Structure 1
Amino acid sequence: MSEATGPTRSNVDLEKRVLHIRSAQFGKSRWVPIHPTTAAAMRRNARKRDRES
């Protein structure tokens, strides 16, 4: 669960719509696709955070 709830900007490529999961099961890392609506929501959230800081 923490893989999905704690990504940083360096762990996600919103243009390619993939999330980098680091040190997952058995210490492996992988890129996983994210749904277009998830990427759009993450983009909106990032813009909102940028405006507030």
Structure 2
Amino acid sequence: MVVGAGGVAVVEPWAPRRGPGLDVVTLDPKSSGPVIGPEGFADAAAMSPTAR
């Protein structure tokens, strides 16, 4: 996995190298999403802050 902290300009050079087992992830706030681990869904008490 390749993680790029930026927008399209950071990710574009890696696009041709994508293939089985290689993912390109951008941390650009406009096109990325949060990653929530299993502990965020463990119980109701944990889900409340996760939802915020």
If the TM-score is normalised by the length of the shorter chain, which range does it land in? under 0.3
- Larger relative strand fraction: 1
- Larger relative helix fraction: 1
Q: Which has the higher contact order (CA 8 A, sep 6+)?
A: 2
* Higher Cα Rg, which structure: 2
TM-score by length of 2: 0.21
